[in-house]
Chains A and B, each alone.
Chain A
Amino acid sequence: MDVFSSLMDGFATALTPMNFLYAVIGVLLGTAVGVLPGLGPAMTVALLLPVTYALEPTSAFIMFAGIYYGGMYGGSTTSILLNTPGESSSVVTAIEGNKMAKAGRAAQALATAAIGSFVAGTIGTALLAVCAPIVVDFAVSLGAPSYFAIMLLALLAVTAVLGSSRLRGFASLGLGLAIGLVGIDSVTGQRRLTFGQPLLADGLDIVVVAVAIFAVGEALWVAAHLRRNPLQIIPVGRPWMGKQDWKRSWKPWLRGTAYGFPFGALPAGGAEIPTFLSYVTEKRLSKHPEEFGKGAIEGVAGPEAANNAAAAGTMTPLLALGLPTNATAAVMLAAFTSYGIQPGPLLFSNEGPLVWALIASLFIGNFLLLLINLPLAPLWAKLLQLPRPYLYAGILFFATLGAYSVNLQAFDLVLLLALGALGFMMRRFGLPVLPLILGVILGPRIEGQLRKSLQLSAGDPAGLWSEPIAVGTYILIAIILLWPLLYKLYRRNRPATSLLSPNATRGNEPADADG
């Protein structure tokens, strides 16, 4: 079956009234949580997991897709209207976006963000529809050793590349892997880290872990540092753009898309790097470089497009390989598993209708976001005025409800609080959250692939590099891990630089020591 006819079938499924309704709910909910501080798409999907067990998996994933795209969109609204971005991927948007808003051009900033997101999201989803089957064709030939290597790459790359401190990234990864170990070992049936507690035998539910780290940890952390003086929210009317704005926006949209998609599809690419690259590019290419820093529309259009294209890119490894590269994708992977669906290259052949309906719903969600959000922008801006005690009390309320409804046992709430305290501590001391979540979700899968690989080779470790893709991946891993060292060597071989600033390099050492 070719891509186009599969996609049309997908549209037929996604456009049934019920599924369409879930798409609408998804984008509305996603935008709301994206706009609201303290909430994000990953947490929302995690919270909704127990609630959606009663639904068809297809409907549930259509809703999740809407939340994912909606969350991206809502995040940009917040960063334009308030100067403090909630997600790291909208940091760049805030630079020019907030300046534009302050200069009375909030409507244009929101419009170029919305339309740019639509353009980038649509192109990105089209690329996903074309690329994913190609990746699948390639991936079905891969064996356990290659999967082990690729998963290892995803884990280590996220840990080593993102975040300001590698050491703290690895600490977070270690904690996540330890959490993932809890429960009965699937091969030998032995209990690991259960401390004789029968309630731990099934392992820690991913809903409880994700909600604790994202929601409870965040609520406690914000409570400890709640702003005394509320932020200024810039009032906004209906977004619109003049002819000049269109002219200055369309090229950045396309360039941003070109940056965003490939980075999103790479393990550890994420949305931060492409948004930044897009910003730098637009600044260099702009005919109005003097406006940068004072509210240049290109600086909003490009990064926002990159952000959304990256979101579409992220779906490629998730659907084609079962490999999540950001928090939302990781929780969606957990969702697949909890529905009894095996993610990975067989997903397209085993669950074809679901996958294509999901991809079709990404197109629909994108269109809905444009349709709903242009007129509703003033309403979303009002949402920012929600009294903070209610917002964070509500987050705790729904976090408790979501975690409790998984198993209906108060013990899960104790875990929720304990892991929430861990989330608090991680925020306090700058341990990134993503490696932990990926460790919890990918840890058991990686162990499975490792055991399968060595089972095939009858215990010979050489079995791990018996496939060319695995070897290539290990080389990549080595480069990523050794990069700081290589960089230092390179610097050392150029005495001019090190002689010029010996103090500067020494001053950096404590921070570098973790490299």
Chain B
Amino acid sequence: MSSSPTLAARLKGRSELGVALLLGAVGVIVLVDALALATPYSQSDPVGPKTLPLIVAAVLLVCAVLLAINVLRGGQGEAEGGEDVDLTHPADWKTVLPLVGAFVANILLIDWAGWVISGTVLFWGSAWALGSRHYVRDGIISVVLSVITFYGFYLGLGIPLPAGLLKGIL
């Protein structure tokens, strides 16, 4: 233990405090929402709709406080490993952000342009973000996957994915 760490020094490298903050925020939201609920007195439901939300809010708030204390005292959550995970290098945002970008593009496009186009964008964009540089091969795989799933869901399962711009063609 260092002798008398200043607050700034203690905060450094403690991004996990963000988790405590999130827990606290969710706890407050659950609490406020629960308090706004009306509880009509009823013989058939003495517990009412409020009880569990209040308990959940309490759990979250207590966890938020304890986690903050734990982190400030040097506790640390263990990052999850895995077959393809290499924890020796820091988080690679240059991969994650384009990946999220491809995901968001899909959300924006799916209802307007249709699944075949948005799914293609999603797969191609994700593969690119993850480091694939076979542009043409990736493109072919993306289109084939999107078209197959479109028809598979439509014909096989009776789930009509949106055709969007390609309506009439598909």
Instruction: Determine the distance from Cα of A387 to Cα of B22 in the docked complex, in whole angstroms.
Output: 35
The verdict on A511 contacting chain B, using a C-beta distance below 8 Å, is yes
The verdict on B168 contacting chain A, using a C-beta distance below 8 Å, is no
A53 cross-chain contacts in B, Cβ below 8 A:
157
**CB <8 Å contact, B73 and A509:** yes
Residue of B nearest to A216 (CB): B103
Instruction: Determine the distance from Cα of A430 to Cα of B79 in the docked complex, in whole angstroms.
Output: 5
Instruction: Determine the distance from Cα of A175 to Cα of B24 in the docked complex, in whole angstroms.
Output: 11
Q: Contacting A429 at CB < 8 Å: which of B77, B131, B138?
A: B77
A220 cross-chain contacts in B, Cβ below 8 A:
96, 99-100
The verdict on A417 contacting chain B, using a C-beta distance below 8 Å, is yes
**CB <8 Å contact, B83 and A231:** yes
A181 cross-chain contacts in B, Cβ below 8 A:
30, 52-53, 56
**CB <8 Å contact, B27 and A223:** no
B69 cross-chain contacts in A, Cβ below 8 A:
513
Name the distance in Å between B148's Cβ and chain A's nearest Cβ: 11
Count A-side interface residues using an 8 Å CB cutoff. Answer: 80
Instruction: Determine the distance from Cα of A127 to Cα of B90 in the docked complex, in whole angstroms.
Output: 47
A170-B63, A387-B132, A396-B126 as given contacts; A429 in contact with B99, CB under 8 Å: no
Instruction: Determine the distance from Cα of A219 to Cα of B126 in the docked complex, in whole angstroms.
Output: 10
**CB <8 Å contact, A224 and B91:** yes
A192-B33, A389-B127, A397-B122 as given contacts; A405 in contact with B159, CB under 8 Å: yes
Residue of B nearest to A514 (CB): B70
B106 cross-chain contacts in A, Cβ below 8 A:
400, 413
**CB <8 Å contact, B67 and A171:** yes
B73-130 residues with Cβ-Cβ distance < 8 A to A are 73-87, 89, 91-93, 95-96, 99-100, 102-104, 106-107, 110-111, 115, 119, 122-124, 126-130
A11-66 residues with Cβ-Cβ distance < 8 A to B are 37-38, 50-51, 53-54
A187-B49, A396-B99, A443-B52 as given contacts; A226 in contact with B126, CB under 8 Å: no
Name the distance in Å between B146's Cβ and chain A's nearest Cβ: 8
A170 cross-chain contacts in B, Cβ below 8 A:
59, 63
Name the distance in Å between B19's Cβ and chain A's nearest Cβ: 5
**CB <8 Å contact, B46 and A455:** yes
- Chain B interface mostly helix, strand, loop or mixed? helix
Residue of A nearest to B160 (CB): A408
Instruction: Determine the distance from Cα of A170 to Cα of B60 in the docked complex, in whole angstroms.
Output: 8
A171 cross-chain contacts in B, Cβ below 8 A:
19, 23, 60, 63-64, 67
A390-B141, A413-B110, A510-B75 as given contacts; A167 in contact with B66, CB under 8 Å: yes
Central interface residue in B53, B127, B153, by most chain A CB within 10 Å: B127
**CB <8 Å contact, B84 and A388:** yes
The verdict on A174 contacting chain B, using a C-beta distance below 8 Å, is yes
B139-170 residues with Cβ-Cβ distance < 8 A to A are 141, 145, 149, 153, 157-162
A226-B84, A226-B131, A405-B161 as given contacts; A188 in contact with B48, CB under 8 Å: yes
Residue of B nearest to A222 (CB): B84
Count B-side interface residues using an 8 Å CB cutoff. Answer: 87
Name the distance in Å between A341's Cβ and chain B's nearest Cβ: 20
A119 cross-chain contacts in B, Cβ below 8 A:
none
The verdict on B37 contacting chain A, using a C-beta distance below 8 Å, is yes
Instruction: Determine the distance from Cα of A136 to Cα of B130 in the docked complex, in whole angstroms.
Output: 49
Instruction: Determine the distance from Cα of A54 to Cα of B141 in the docked complex, in whole angstroms.
Output: 27
A85 cross-chain contacts in B, Cβ below 8 A:
83
A443 cross-chain contacts in B, Cβ below 8 A:
52, 56
A84-B82, A226-B84, A510-B74 as given contacts; A417 in contact with B100, CB under 8 Å: yes
Residue of B nearest to A38 (CB): B84
A225 cross-chain contacts in B, Cβ below 8 A:
85-87, 89, 91-92
The verdict on B47 contacting chain A, using a C-beta distance below 8 Å, is yes
Name the distance in Å between A117's Cβ and chain B's nearest Cβ: 20
Q: Contacting A193 at CB < 8 Å: which of B29, B64, B131, B160?
A: B29
B70 cross-chain contacts in A, Cβ below 8 A:
167, 510, 513-514
A429 cross-chain contacts in B, Cβ below 8 A:
16, 19, 77, 79
The verdict on A447 contacting chain B, using a C-beta distance below 8 Å, is yes
**CB <8 Å contact, A78 and B83:** yes
B149 cross-chain contacts in A, Cβ below 8 A:
401
**CB <8 Å contact, A400 and B53:** no
The verdict on A394 contacting chain B, using a C-beta distance below 8 Å, is yes
Known A38-B84, A173-B59, A187-B49; further 12 A-B contacts with Cβ < 8 A: A37-B84, A50-B159, A168-B77, A171-B67, A219-B99, A223-B130, A224-B96, A226-B85, A393-B132, A400-B103, A430-B80, A454-B47
Q: List 23 A-B contacts (CB under 8 A).
A: A37-B83, A84-B83, A164-B78, A167-B66, A222-B85, A225-B85, A226-B95, A226-B131, A389-B126, A389-B127, A389-B128, A393-B123, A396-B102, A397-B145, A413-B103, A429-B16, A429-B79, A446-B52, A450-B52, A458-B46, A459-B46, A511-B75, A514-B67
Residues of B that sit less than 8 Å from A by CB: 16, 18-19, 22-23, 26-27, 29-30, 33-34, 37-40, 43-49, 51-53, 56, 59-60, 63-64, 66-67, 69-70, 73-87, 89, 91-93, 95-96, 99-100, 102-104, 106-107, 110-111, 115, 119, 122-124, 126-132, 138, 141, 145, 149, 153, 157-162
The 9 closest A-B pairs by CB, nearest first: A430-B77, A459-B46, A37-B83, A393-B126, A389-B132, A389-B130, A429-B77, A430-B78, A510-B73
